[in-house]
Amino acid sequence: MNLSRRSFLKWSATLGAMGTGLMSLTACSQNASLTGSEAASAGEQIIPTASTQDCGGRCLIKAHVKDGVITRISTRGAYEEDEPGANMKACLRGRSYRKHLYHPDRLKYPMKRVGKRGEGKFEQISWEEAIDTIAKETRRIFDQYGPESRYCNVGTGDTGGVIYRMGLGGRFLSATGGHLPLYNSVSMGNTGTATPYVYGVAATASSLDSLKDTKLVILWGHNTTETIFGASNYYFRQMKNRGCKFICVDPRNSNTAVAFADEWIPLLPTTDNALMDAMAYVIVSENLHDQAFLDQYVQGFDEEHMPEGVPAHESLVSYLFGKKDGVEKTPEWAEAICKVPAETIRRIAREYATTKPAALIQGWGPQRHSCGERTALGATMLASITGNVGVLGGWAGGYIGLSRKGCVGLPDVPNPYPGAIPTLSWVDAIECPEKVTPAEGLLGVDKLNSPIKMLLNLAGDFIANQNPDINRTIRVLEDESLVEFIVVSDLFMTPSARYADILLPGNTFFERYNIGATWNNGDYFILSQKIVDNYYESRSEYDWLAEVADKLGAKDVFTGGKTEEEWVRWIVDETRAKYPETLSWEELEKVGISKFHYDGPRVAFQDQIEDPVNNPFPTPSGKIELFSKTLYDMHNPEIPAIPVYVPAWEGPEDELTEKYPLQLIGWKTKARDNSTFYNNPWLQQAMVQEVWINPMDAKPRNIVTGDRVKVFNDRGTTMLQARVTSRVIPGVIAAPTGSWFTPDGKGGCTNGNLNVLTTLRKTALSHGNTQHTSLVEISKL
Ligand SMILES: Nc1nc2c(c(=O)[nH]1)N[C@H]1C(S)=C(S)[C@@H](COP(=O)(O)OP(=O)(O)OC[C@H]3O[C@@H](n4cnc5c(=O)[nH]c(N)nc54)[C@H](O)[C@@H]3O)O[C@H]1N2
Ligand SMILES: Nc1nc2c(c(=O)[nH]1)N[C@H]1C(S)=C(S)[C@@H](COP(=O)(O)OP(=O)(O)OC[C@H]3O[C@@H](n4cnc5c(=O)[nH]c(N)nc54)[C@H](O)[C@@H]3O)O[C@H]1N2
Ligand code: SF4
Ligand SMILES: [Mo]
C-alpha cells in the first residue's frame, strides 16, 4: 500500500463528497496513482523514466523503487495535463512493465544450441565462452565469405530509444569489416518510397498542433487509440471536443472509429484507390476542386498541365472521365469494387472538398499492402485537388517526418561494404542470392558475391514471428549448411530465439540508460534511466558487443572510447548545445521529460505554397507531381504515373479468390508492441487472440463466437478463436498481429500467428512490405 496520508485524505474527501461512501483501499491507491498524487512511502523512491519500445508513444512513467526492486509503476497524473505531450500517460502496456521486467521466464544466462537448429535445445554457457565463440565465428565468416555474408536483421524491440540494439549490431559489423545492411522500413517503406515522386521528399507530415482549426478529419486506416502515433489522441480529443468531425475509413470498426468517428466507412482492403478515384470524380464533376491551386502548383491534373513528351489522355481528369479506357470512375463504378455505397462516396467527397481546411490523415496499415505505394499516393492526390497541401489545418498525405526537433544521434561508424538489400530480401539472400538483383531492389552493387552466412538478431523477433512466410523462413534456417551462425539476444525464449546458435539474455530499459524519443509530435524526449540491476546474468548488447569488438581489434571504433551511459550523457549534452531549451542530465534525472520549444506549428510545404518562386517543390518539374513522368517512364502497370486504382495481387479481384475467398488483415493491438509483451500475463487478460469475422461470412461456415477455427492458404495454417462481429466488413477477416508462432509440426500455428499466411512477395516500386495482403479461407476446427 504505497499511499501517503496526504493522498489518502484527499481521496477519501473526494469520494465522500461524491457520496460514494467508503471504497476499498486498493481502489483508492489505484486512483491516487492515476491522478499523480502519489508520494513516496517510507524508504520508497519514485524515479521518472520511459520505455524504449517501438510503440508509437513515449510516456513518462514513474517507477516506485524500494530496496532495489520496482514495486509499482505509476504515470503522469491528470493535474499535469496542461500542455501537449502531457497526454503521454502510460497505456496498459506501460502499466504492466513490471510483469515484463520480473517475468519468471526471462532469459537468465547465455546459452548455446545443443540440438538441431530450431529444436529449442540449449545449454547454459559462460559469457566468456559466448563472447569467444561470437568473435571466432564473426572473423571466420568474414574471412571465408566477405562482408556481405554478415547481416543484422530487423529488430525494433527498442527502436524507441536513441541508442537501439539493431543499430548497435550494424555498428559492430561495420567496425569489424562491414556487412550487408537493410533499407526500407517494414513499417512504412511503401509510403517512404512513393511520396517523393509527388512532393520530392518523404517527410510530408505536418505537426499535429497545426490541426487546431481543422473542421474535418478523415482518419484513413489510422488507428491511433491503439497505435498512439505520438500525441495524436491528445490533439484529436481536443479537436473532437470543439466540434471537429471525424470520419474513419477502415475495413474494421477500429477502437479509434469507436472513440472518435462520427462515421465509420468500411471498405475492402486494397481497394482504397477506387474510393479515392470516385471521390475525385465527384469533386471534379461538381466543380468542387481548387482549380487555382491546381493551375499554380500541380502537374498532371488536366491535359493543359502535363509534362513534355507524354501522349494525350494521361492526365487525372482524362482518367476520371474515361478518355482512354472508356470507363468513368463514378461512385457506382467504385461501389462495385470497394463496397462503399455510391451515395456515401458522393456525400464524403462533397464534404471533404467543401470543408476548409480538411485533413485526410492516412495511417500505415493501408500501405502495408501489395498496392501500398498506390494507396499512399492516393491520399496525396485528394489533398492536392482540394488545395489542402501547405495550408494550416490541411494535410498533404504520407505520414513521415513529424518531429520538428530531435535528439542528436550517435556518430556513424561507416560501413565499408557498399551494397544494401530491402528488408524482405534476406531470405532470398540466404537461399538464392542470385535472385537478389538490382531489379529486385539490390542497391550499391550489381550482385551479391556471397549468401548471408551470419545473422545477428538483437531485440527482434523477425526470424520466426514478425517476418512474412514463416514456414518458408524456418525451412531455410533449419538447413544448417545455409546460414552458419545465428546470434539472438532477447529477453525471452521467443519463436525467433529458438533458431539461435548462441542465445544471449538482454537487459531491459529499466536496467540501462537511454533516451526515449517520441515518434512524432510529442516534441519532447525522456531520460530512460537505469533503475535496477541487471536481472541474473543479462547484459546490455552494447557491453558484450564491445568485448567481441575488442577481441577483433575494433573496440575503439565500436565504442568511440565511451560506455553506453557515457554516450547517453553525450547525447543529452549535444542536444542541449543544439537546443538550449532542453534539460541537463541532472534535471532530467529528477523530472525525466524535456520539451523542445517552437515558434509555431509546422505545416509541410508551407514555404512551397507561400512563395513558390523561391521554394519550388524538389521534384523534376518543381511542382506537385500528381502525374510523375519518372513513374510513367517505368511503364510498370503496378505503378501508374497517377495514383489510380489497379486491382492488387491477392486482392478481391485476384483469381485466387476462387480458392481463398477471404481477405485477411492484421492490426496492431493495444495489448502488445508487435510481439513484445506477448507473454505478459496482465496483457493476456486484456485481450484474447481471436479472429474477427462478419456474420455473413460466419453463417455459411457454421462459425459462432468462441469456436476454434483454422485460417489457411497455400503458405500455412493458423488456429485461433473466432469472434463473429459486424465490426469487420464481409469478405474480410482480421486478427491482431504479434501472437507467438507455435508450430504444430505440419506448417500450422496453434496460436493465431498471422505470418504463416503472409507472403515475402514485395511491392513493385519500393520492394516493400505487403504483410496485410493475404487471401485465405477459414473453417471450424
Ligand atoms: N499498441 C501498439 N501500438 C503500436 C504498435 C503495436 O504493435 N502495438 N506497433 C507500432 C509500429 S511498429 C507501427 S509500424 C505502427 C503501425 O501503425 P499502422 O500501420 O497504422 O497500424 P495497423 O494496425 O497495421 O493499421 C492501421 C489500420 O489500418 C487498417 N487497414 C488495414 N488494411 C487497410 C486497407 O487496405 N485500407 C484501409 N483504409 N485501412 C486498412 C487496419 O484495420 C487498422 O485499423 O504502430 C505502432 N504502434
Ligand atoms: N503480419 C504482420 N506482420 C508484421 C506487421 C504487420 O502489420 N503484420 N508489422 C511489421 C512491423 S511494422 C514491424 S515494426 C515488425 C516488428 O517486428 P520486430 O522488430 O521483430 O518487433 P517485436 O515483435 O516487437 O520483437 C522485438 C523483440 O525484442 C525483444 N525486446 C524488447 N525489448 C528488448 C530489449 O530491451 N533488449 C532486447 N535484447 N530485446 C528486447 C522482445 O522480447 C521481442 O522478442 O513486425 C512486422 N510484422
Ligand atoms: S508502451 Fe508506448 S504508449 Fe504504452 S506506456 Fe510505453 S511508451 Fe507509452
Ligand atoms: Mo513498425
Q: Determine the structural domain holding residue 692 and report its residue range.
A: 655-780
| Residue 275 falls inside a structural domain | yes
Ligand 1 atom index nearest CA of 252: 42
Please give the span between the terminal C-alpha atoms of the chain, in angstroms, as a whole number.
47
Ligand 4 geometric centre to CA of 366 (Å): 13
State whether 684 and 770 are in the same domain.
Answer: yes
Q: What φ, ψ does residue 202 adopt, rounded to 5°?
A: -85, -25
State whether 450 and 318 are in the same domain.
Answer: no
pLDDT in tens, 473-514: 999 999 999 999 999 999 999 999 999 999 999 999 999 999
| Residue 21 falls inside a structural domain | no
Least confident of 29-38, 261-270, 450-459, 725-734: 29-38
Q: What φ, ψ does residue 264 adopt, rounded to 5°?
A: -105, 130
640, 244 Cβ separation under 8 angstroms: no
| Residue 192 falls inside a structural domain | no
Ligand 2 atom index nearest CA of 668: 7
Ligand 3 surroundings by CB, under 6 angstroms = 51, 53, 55, 57-59, 90-91, 93-94, 228, 673
Ligand 3 atom index nearest CA of 160: 7
Q: What φ, ψ does residue 240 adopt, rounded to 5°?
A: -60, -45
pLDDT at 404 over 70: yes
| Residue 39 falls inside a structural domain | no
Q: pLDDT-based confidence at 7, cuts 50/70/90?
A: very low
Give the total number of structural domains in the chain.
3
CB 249 less than 6 A from any atom of ligand 1: yes
State whether 324 and 300 are in the same domain.
Answer: yes
User: HEC string of 254-322?
Assistant: CHHHHHHCCEEECCCCCCHHHHHHHHHHHHHHCCCCCHHHHHHHEECCCHHHCCCCCCCCCCHHHHHCC
pLDDT in tens, 156-188: 999 999 999 999 999 999 999 999 999 999 999
Class of residue 460 by CB neighbours under 10 A (exposed 0-12, middle 13-18, buried 19+) = buried
CA distance 362 to 264: 14
Q: Which amino acid is at 211?
A: L
pLDDT at 11 over 60: no
Best mutation site among 228, 521, 528 for ligand 3, i.e. most ligand atoms within 8 A of its Cβ? 228
Q: What is the pTM of this model?
A: 0.94
| Helix (H) or strand (E) run with residue 437 in it | none
State whether 388 and 334 are in the same domain.
Answer: yes
Q: What φ, ψ does residue 44 adopt, rounded to 5°?
A: -100, 140
Q: Which residue, of 530, 549, 572, is where some domain finishes?
A: 572
- Nearest ligand to the CA atom of 376: 1
pLDDT in tens, 514-570: 999 887 666 889 999 999 999 999 999 999 999 999 999 999 999 999 999 999 999
SS3 139: helix
Give the HSE-up count for residue 140: Cα atoms under 13 Å, Cβ half-sphere.
10
State whether 450 and 559 are in the same domain.
Answer: yes
State whether 660 and 617 are in the same domain.
Answer: no
- Record the cell numbers describing residue 461, joined without a space: 523477433
Best mutation site among 184, 227, 773 for ligand 1, i.e. most ligand atoms within 8 A of its Cβ? 227
| Residue 769 falls inside a structural domain | yes
State whether 753 and 668 are in the same domain.
Answer: yes
| Residue 589 falls inside a structural domain | no
State whether 314 and 398 are in the same domain.
Answer: yes
State whether 290 and 352 are in the same domain.
Answer: yes
DSSP 410: P
State whether 565 and 661 are in the same domain.
Answer: no
CA distance 437 to 611: 42
219, 256 Cβ separation under 8 angstroms: yes
CB 559 less than 6 A from any atom of ligand 1: no
Looking at ligand 1, which residue's alpha carbon is closest to its atom 39? 221
State whether 711 and 759 are in the same domain.
Answer: yes
CA distance 377 to 197: 9
144, 500 Cβ separation under 8 angstroms: no
Indicate the Cα dihedral angle 348, 353, 358, 359, nearest 10°: 70
- Record the cell numbers describing residue 721, joined without a space: 478463436
State mean pLDDT over 281-292. Answer: 98
CB 270 less than 6 A from any atom of ligand 1: yes
Measure Cα distances from 137 to 171, 392, 454, 605 in Å. 17, 56, 8, 50
| Residue 596 falls inside a structural domain | no
Please identify which residue in the block is written with the cell numbers 524538389: 618
SS3 642: coil
CATH number of the domain that residue 291 is part of: 3.40.228.10
State whether 218 and 136 are in the same domain.
Answer: no
Please identify which residue in the block is written with the cell numbers 491511433: 224
CATH number of the domain that residue 661 is part of: 2.40.40.20
Ligand 2 atom index nearest CA of 772: 8
Distance, CA of 352 to chain centre: 27
| Residue 72 falls inside a structural domain | no
Strand 732-736 and strand 662-667: pairing? parallel
Distance, CA of 355 to chain centre: 30
Give the HSE-up count for residue 309: Cα atoms under 13 Å, Cβ half-sphere.
5
CATH number of the domain that residue 559 is part of: 3.40.50.740
pLDDT in tens, 78-94: 545 555 555 578 899 99
- Record the cell numbers describing residue 215, joined without a space: 473542421
Ligand 2 geometric centre to CA of 136 (Å): 28
